[in-house]
Amino acid sequence: MTTVGFVRHGVTAWNKQGRAQGSTDIPLDEEGIRMAVRVADRLAADGWDAIYTSPWKRAKRTAELIGEKISNADVMEDTRIRERAGGLIEGTTEADRRAKWGPEWKQLDLQGETHDSVITRGMSFIEEMQQRYPEGRVLAVSHGGFIKRLLSELLPGTTYEEPLGNTSLTIVKLDAEQNVCELFNCTEHLHEMKL
């Protein structure tokens, strides 16, 4: 049985401003780096076989910091686990979107990547991990929007309304009969951190 640990990247300036990032390649800020070090410390003793990361700077730097603490696991980029492209909303806040397109902006075609496209590439990644690591433990350092969409596919019938915290850890055991979420959106490694 393959276990996948999904880690959302550390915080960025745009996260703090409430700006949609999508495929815009925003780096971690200083706090985001500290958060990534904290999740790396947490994961160091857990026995992971591999670390895969989105190519975007915020995820890649988070993964690199985790990789420094897990000596036996290489960090590998995989474009399939990048964030959903946001189209015209990238760089905007909720207030910007309401001002520009009105309160029903989510109903408009604003040229973002489709849900089906995200799921297709996400499931391709999952299937490859199951083949490569049939009894292994893999970390996927990615993005909140991507992870939540993929969880909805891996765990049908479940709804996770709360947003994923920066550097949160979600662990899913992949089973042919029924996948199991062992841990969701856990950020206890940040509890003593002065943010």
Question: Which residues in the chain belong to E strands, given as ranges?
Answer: 2-8, 50-53, 75-77, 137-142, 169-174, 180-186
Catalytic residue, chosen from 9, 31, 113, 143, is 9
- Tokens 């489709």 identify what position? 114
State the burial class of residue 188 (Cβ atoms within 10 Å of its Cβ: 0-12, 13-18, 19+). Answer: exposed
Query: Would residue 189 show up in a list of annotated catalytic residues for this protein?
Result: no
Token pair of 13, please? 């300036």
Query: Would residue 9 show up in a list of annotated catalytic residues for this protein?
Result: yes
Catalytic residue, chosen from 31, 83, 90, 113, is 83
Under 8 Å CB-to-CB from 50, ≥6 apart: which residues? 73, 74, 76, 132, 133, 136, 138, 139
Q: What's the order of all strands across the beta sheet hosting 169-174? A: 75-77, 50-53, 137-142, 2-8, 169-174, 180-186
Residue 36 to residue 29: CA distance in whole angstroms: 11
Selection from 68, 18, 17, 75 nearest residue 50 by Cα: 75
> Which residues form the catalytic set?
9, 83
